[in-house]
Structure 1
Amino acid sequence: MHSQEWAQLKDALDRANYWLLVPVLGLLLASHWLRALRWKQLIDSMGYNTSRINCFLGVMIGYFVNLGAPRLGEVVKCTILARYEKVPADKLVGTIVAERAFDVVCLVIVFGLTFFFQYDVIHTLTSGKLDALFRTASGQTSYIKILMLLAVAAVLFFIGRWFLNKFSHIGPVGKVRNIIINIWHGLTSVKGVKNKPLFFFYTIGIWCLYLFSTWFGFFAIGATSHLTIIDALSVLAMGSVGMIVSPGGIGAYPLLIQKTVSFYNVPAIPFGLALGWLLWFGQFLSFVLFGTISFILLPRINKKLHYQIIAHEGPADHPNENI
């Protein structure tokens, strides 16, 4: 960016209402708590009885570690729970696969909802080219084209499936096949969860809280305060991609948010980029703040529980299950 654009960005950030990060942090913290409860359900379905607080602290420490070493956080949180809850780490890895599988499905659903609710925006961006796929020359809906597209999609699906099975011995092909298989196994592992409606409630709740935290962030900048919660769907979708493609979302997340809100007549520079960095900072702050606190609390809480067990001679299985 030019020096003038940097000055505009700094001015936009200086004018932002940072107090609105407080409810954003609260919503993000609630989403992390629901994620911990969902993880506990998956672990308990294997016959273990883990504590809620240890699951939550493990989740937060995992997020914190991911900021510096992407994906290592998943290993760390499994190691933590294996140490304090005596659950085999290799079994915990399977629950991580299940969690990621449901997150992938939820992200696809978010993109689908974005397409449904933001069709007018997508239509504008594609200059009507999208309509050509589904309409005749006279402008009427072409059901034949729709059926043909579905048929092509089905054929591509079966060809892709055959290709992955036939050439799975080739390195890259085998890796893609294993990823798909792991996602499927993760999705089907929910069969062992006792309270399935609660599991799906947690899953929906996590993404709803992500959505509301994004929407609240809009009000921190005057130029984006008019955006609606429906607009937040597209921001959430693209922001999630940004968090995936770069460590901690740094760089990619603000850039994708900037591009997305520019579709709603928000000046990309400075306000779109300012919003992107503000929303990213909110997530970064939640990981650092709650992750650091979790590092401090984890050994202290478990040490206290250990002494309580000795003092009261509690049952050996897990007296802290309801914490």
Structure 2
Amino acid sequence: MDCDSLDLRLFVDGLSDEDLDVLEDAVKARRCREKYGADTVEDLMKKWGRAPRRPRCGREGAWLDGASADGRGRLRCPYCGRRFNALSGTIFANAKLPLHKIMVIVEVMCLNASLRLIELICGVSHPTAFLWRHKIFSTVSSWQDGVVLSGRVWIDEMYFADTRARREPGARRRHGLSRDKVCVVVAIDSWGKALAVASENGKPSTKGINAALEGHIKEGSVLVHGCEKAHNALVRKLRLVDERYKADPSDPVYLEQMRLVNHLCAWIRRYVDRFACMKSDNLQAYLDWFIYLHRVHRDADTWPVEERVVRHLALSDGLYLRKW
């Protein structure tokens, strides 16, 4: 250890707890600036070209009109006269966490970590970790709406226990495809684009399959599936080429032909099972985040995952308010 390192360690050892916290925040802010090009949310917005706009009327263009108690400049809309700031209408509105902590939460969420792990790594409370998880989820809540699968498209269904199901005291848990399970429709095409939609309870119906997939498969595509009757109407409606294989886990042909979608279902199962306390009402939000990250990781060679996700958050209009 050289003299400079020793002097630096002695300097740190001599700091009070309050000064040490300030130093730690300064170091983390610098690391954040070096990695993401910004150490404040406002600078992050500027870096990615997010122009302030009034959430109420959605128009851009405003003039500076004072400042808030936290020092952020207030803007006034020339059209509706409302006052707002550069973060209004984003997930960063009223954010109390510094940017470097928010970025650590994002990085951990890209690894699909549990809330407890977010609390430990980021040094935040459970309510704060929950709030930011759903703030980030809100930015991808409509992302799957624009997904269109084409070419060869594999579809299948998987099931998760419904936490909303009510049972009489002492009643046995139902087995099989009962109404106590939520059906999730899963699809993937030969290009690697994927879709996962929480559809309905119990065995899938024609109506449920159509609602989940009708707007997401290009007409004339080849539909590869496991002989589910509820798929027939979709095949006719979209003029799909019907390629079906009887669902038999002991049949090597079935396993080979359905391998792609079966692997996707297995990954979704592992992902959802990490969140044992998740409510079924939030299942679609978790699926939206999984499918979004599936696309981001697919293109990781051309665009680093974390940088792409941060850009998405900076430009997104997602908004989630704490529910009491």
TM-score between both structures, scaled by the size of structure 1: 0.25
Q: Which protein shows a greater Rg? A: 2
Indicate the structure whose relative CO is greater, using CA pairs within 8 Å and at least 6 residues apart: 1
Q: Give the structure with the higher percent helix.
A: 1
Q: Give the structure with the higher percent strand.
A: 2
